Structure 1
Amino acid sequence: MINLDDTDRNILRALADDATLSAGEIGRRLGLSQSASWRRIKRLQDSDVLSGQRLDLDLQKLGFGVTVFLGIKLATKGRVSLDDFERAVIAIPEVQTVQHVLGLYDYRLRVVARDISDFERILRRRVMTLPGVGNVEANVLLSEERLIGPIG
C-alpha cells in the first residue's frame, strides 16, 4: 500500500472526474507547478495506483438502450473448465464485464443490447449456448450513478 497525502488524493479525484487532464492543468487547479504535478502523477502510475485511462461511452447515443446484469450458475463445474467458459463469454461483443463471484451465482455479466428483443437474441443465441451454462437470472438496469470509489 502506498502512502497518499491530501495532494495525491486531490490529484486522483481530478483524474477520476476527467482522465484527460494534463499535469499542467492539474497543477493549476491544485496550486502546484507542472513538474511537481507530473512527478506526483508519475509516482502514482509507477506504484500502480493509476493504471491507464478509462473511456466512458454514452451507450444510449451509440444505440444500446438496454443494459442487463446476468447471474450465471454453471451446471457442470467438473466437466467444463472455468477457463473455457471465460474464453467463450469474453468473445461475445455485447458482454462488457465478466465477474467471477462467490455466492448464488458463479459469474455476473454486464450485457448491453439495442432493445429487449436484441437482448433476447443475445441471451438465446450466445449466452445460453456457452459451455456449462445452467441457471441464468437477468436484472435490467433502470438507472445508474457513477461513483469514483474511496480515495482514502
Structure 2
Amino acid sequence: MIELDTMDRAILRALVADATQSASALGRKLGLSQPATWRRIRRLEEAGVITGRRLELDAEKLGFGVTVFLGVKLATKGRVSLEDFERAISAIPEVQTVEHILGVFDYRLRVVARDITDFERILRRRIMMLPGVGDVEANVLLSEERRPGPIG
C-alpha cells in the first residue's frame, strides 16, 4: 500500500473532478510545478492508485433514456460456468456493467435502453435467453448523484 500525503489526496480529488487537466494546470491550482505534479501523478499510476482515465458519456443524450439495475440469479450454477455467463452477458451492448455479487442474486447488471419497451425487448430476447438465467429482479433508476469514492 502506498502512503498518500495531503498533496497526493488533493491531486486525486482534482483528477476525479476533471481527469482531462494537464499536469501544468493542475500544478498551478495546487501550488506545485508542472514537473513535480507530473512526478506525483506518475507515482500514483505506477502504484496502481490511478488505474486509468475514462470518458464519461451521457446515455440520455445518446438516446438511452432508461437505466435499469438487474439482479440475476443463475438457475443452474453447476451446468453453466460463471465465466461463460459473464462472457455471454458482456456481449450484450446495452449491458454497461456486470458485477458478481454475494447475496440473493449472483449478478447485478446495469442495463441502458431507449425506453421501457426497448428494455423489455432486451430482457426477453437477449438476457432471459442466456443459458442458466433463473430469477431476475429489475429496479429502474429514477435519478443518480455521482459521488467519487473516499480519498480522505
When the two structures are superposed, what TM-score results if normalisation uses the length of structure 1?
Answer: 0.99
The runs of 4+ residues in structure 1 deviating greater than 4 Å are none
- Please list the CA deviations of residues 31-74 of structure 1 after superposition, one character each: whole Å capped at 9, or x if unmatched: 00000000000000000100110111111110000000000000
Amino acid at match of 2:135: N
Q: 1:75 aligns to what?
A: 75
Distance in 2 separating the partners of 1:86 and 1:107:
9
Following superposition, the deviation at residue 80 of structure 1 comes to 0.8
Following superposition, the deviation at residue 130 of structure 1 comes to 1.0
Deviates more, 1:52-61 or 1:22-31: 52-61
Distance in 2 separating the partners of 1:142 and 1:18:
25
Q: 1:118 aligns to what?
A: 118
- Please list the CA deviations of residues 96-139 of structure 1 after superposition, one character each: whole Å capped at 9, or x if unmatched: 00000000000000000000000000000000011200000000
Secondary structure of 1:16's partner? helix
Secondary structure of 1:53's partner? coil
Give the aligned CA root-mean-square deviation in angstroms. Answer: 0.5
Gaps of 5+ in 1: none
When the two structures are superposed, what TM-score results if normalisation uses the length of structure 2?
Answer: 0.99
Gaps of 5+ in 2: none
Alignment: residue pair count: 152
Q: Is 1:86 paired with 2:86?
A: yes
Q: Sequence identity, in percent?
A: 75
